[in-house]
Amino acid sequence: MDADSLLRFALALVAVLGLIGVVAVVARRLGLVSVAGLNRGGHRLKVVEVAMVDGRRRLVLVRRDDSEHLLLLGANGEIVVEAGIRVEPATPPGALSRGPGPTP
């Protein structure tokens, strides 16, 4: 491999990596890609849990604001199994949970 081929290879690699970076930035700005674990303010909808029922159907627990909805998704359509399940606010990490206080 001569120096000319090596230089062309390095420039092509930099160009391809640059194009991948540009496409990634554009996709994130358009909302086509979400980063796992990144919760920017304004997201009101979250998939909490997914459980496979059989090969064609699955149960999906979806959280919206302070309520959850249980959905059955299948090849023939979607069914709302239970809606408006109230969700208690989560205790902040590191907070000590205390039992009930003394009874008089």
Q: Give tens-digit pLDDT for 15-32.
A: 999 999 999 988 888 877
CA-nearest of 95, 89, 47 to 70 is 47
CA-nearest of 95, 71, 67, 66 to 81 is 71
Question: So where are the chain's domains?
Answer: 1-35, 43-89
Residue type at 1 in one-letter notation: M
Q: pTM for the complete prediction?
A: 0.47
Model pLDDT, residue 13: 96
Answer for the pair 12, 19: CB distance below 8 angstroms, yes or no.
no
- Say which DSSP state 15 is in: H
Residues contacting 62, CB < 8 A, separation 6+: 45, 46, 47, 48, 68, 69, 70, 71
Pairing mode, if any, of strands 58-64 and 67-74? Answer: antiparallel
Q: Give tens-digit pLDDT for 3-15.
A: 899 999 999 999 9
